[in-house]
Amino acid sequence: MTNSDPVVAVHSNFRGQAVTLFGTIDPPPGEAENYGVVVVVQGPSTDWVVREKQRQFGFVLNAASARYDRVPGYYGVFSSRPLAQLGLEALPQFDLEALAARQRIESGDQTFDSKFVQLMRAADRFSMAERGVVMLTPSAFSVRVPIASNATNGLYLARAFVVADGEIVGEGTTRYTVRTQGFERYVADLARSNPALYGFATILVALLTGWVGGVLFRR
């Protein structure tokens, strides 16, 4: 499997785009119609906490919560046909709620799993498209993977599974990188490598901006 953009550059005006992945399969003659393709794209891992808000004594306070460790910052499942038709609906690697359940720490409430998936899908961090893989020919396919404006920097792994009669009979992989470029990358690197200096610079910029604003308004 190959891709159209090995490196996706993110700038301040980045509003999202898509990476197109291409692949080929080699089914036996006369049996191409029995094959399907599922592509799973996984981004860098991050930790998340989901909190339930409740109104108590007139105030909105945090109530129950669940923590999810090392969840892919992006997880997309794309298939050439609905998973039920391919006989794969029970496999955990193609189930977003099963992914959430695996990454939830033991003390977390399992009732949060579905809500966590909803929130991640709303933020364009989880996606599922049951006809997202386009069969260009009986042995060639493509899939467009969206990259949201809030995409996590890092390496993304795409795995293509060839399916026949409800079983995975082949697999291929490719990778691409999402990387902040320009001044935005310098700021992000500074925040990670030297948080004290980054904090000092942020305070200095805020003070300077306030002083300039005060001078302008006095005039």
- pLDDT tens readout for residues 169-198: 889 999 998 887 655 554 555 555 666 665
Position 75 scores a pLDDT of 95
Q: Give, rounded to a whole angstrom, the gap between the first and last alpha carbons of the chain.
A: 62
Helix axes 195-218, 182-193, angle to 10 degrees: 120
pLDDT digits (tens, 9 = 90+) for 66-118: 889 999 999 999 999 999 888 887 788 899 999 999 988 866 677 889 999 99
Position 133 scores a pLDDT of 94
Q: Quickly list H helices, 87-181.
A: 96-103, 112-122
pLDDT digits (tens, 9 = 90+) for 33-59: 678 899 999 999 989 888 876 666 666
HSE-up of 71 (CA within 13 Å, CB side)? 28
Predicted TM-score (pTM) of this structure: 0.74
- Neighbour tally for 51: CB within 10 Å: 13
Position 31 scores a pLDDT of 59
HSE-up of 35 (CA within 13 Å, CB side)? 24
Position 125 scores a pLDDT of 93
Answer yes or no: are the C-beta atoms of 179 and 153 closer than 8 Å.
yes
Token readout for 170 is 């082949």
pLDDT at 209 over 80: no
pLDDT bracket for residue 120 (50, 70, 90): very high
pLDDT at 204 over 60: yes
Percent of the chain residues topping a pLDDT of 90: 29
Position 184 scores a pLDDT of 53
pLDDT digits (tens, 9 = 90+) for 121-175: 999 999 999 999 999 988 889 999 988 878 888 899 999 999 888 888 889 999 9
